Amino acid sequence: MTLLITWPESGPQTVVRRTSEPAEIAAALAPLRVRYEQWPVRHDVPADADGDTVLAAYRSEIDRLNEEEGFVTVDVVSLHPETAPDWPARARAAREKFLDEHTHDDDDEVRFFVAGAGIFYLHATGEVHAVYCEKGDLLGVPKGTTHWFDMGTRPSFTAIRFFHEEDGWIGSFTGSGISSRFPDFDTIHAGLTAEREA
């Protein structure tokens, strides 16, 4: 279940918005120029599929987005406990790279989730918007938007990444400790799992 939770930037004591309705999520993010879409899920693509298989499966959607946005590089990133060598160290390093608030000066951050889940936290207009993305979700964070990303302490996801610049992911960190003040991926994921099982 995709989920958007919005809090004041002062902290998570008050929930401004909480919705799992895709249309409401897209409408809430549109004023921030954040692109949110849901693509048809290819159930015949395994979670641990190689990059070529993933790109072939979503070729029509990728081509459409490339035509609209002019991306020059598209690749696949995958991190799963079952297949990653040196799993604990690799997972910790991968998570820590994205966990502090940052911006991108030269490119948007656009991801489509083929499998698994992750949360983008968008810090804008005096609020923090946590967007829990899972299989089938595409999120595009415009360059210059302060944000962070959490994949949890046990990351498991496959995502297609889109870049306008060949250099790929380059973050400019703000030095703010804001990300430590809000519920992390594990907390939100556990709450969603409990809701699904209730």
User: Tell me: the pLDDT tens digits for 40-95?
Assistant: 999 999 877 899 999 999 999 999 999 999 998 999 998 877 665 676 777 777 78
Q: Identify the pLDDT of residue 85.
A: 63
Structural domains in the chain?
3-197 (2.60.120.10)
Alpha-carbon distance of 163 to 110, in angstroms, equals 7
The answer to whether 43 is annotated as binding is no
Which of 62, 57, 60 shows the shortest CA–CA distance to 46?
A: 57
Alpha-carbon distance of 23 to 81, in angstroms, equals 33
The answer to whether 102 is annotated as binding is yes
**pLDDT band of 168, cuts 50, 70, 90:** low
Average pLDDT over residues 161-167: 84
Tally of CB atoms within 10 A around 87: 15
The answer to whether 164 is annotated as binding is no
Of the CA atoms within 13 Å of residue 47, those in its CB half-sphere come to 13
How far is C-alpha 189 from the geometric centre of its chain's CA atoms? 14
Q: Give residue-wise pLDDT tens across range 132-153.
A: 999 999 999 999 999 999 999 8
The residue ranking higher by pLDDT, 65 or 168, is: 65
Q: Identify the pLDDT of residue 75.
A: 94
Q: Identify the pLDDT of residue 74.
A: 95
Is this model's pTM higher than 0.95 or not? no
Q: Identify the pLDDT of residue 165.
A: 76
**pLDDT band of 14, cuts 50, 70, 90:** very high
Average pLDDT over residues 3-11: 98
**Percent of the residues in the chain that have a pLDDT greater than 70, as a whole number:** 95
Q: Identify the pLDDT of residue 170.
A: 72
Q: Give residue-wise pLDDT tens across range 23-35.
A: 999 999 999 999 9
Q: Identify the pLDDT of residue 32.
A: 97
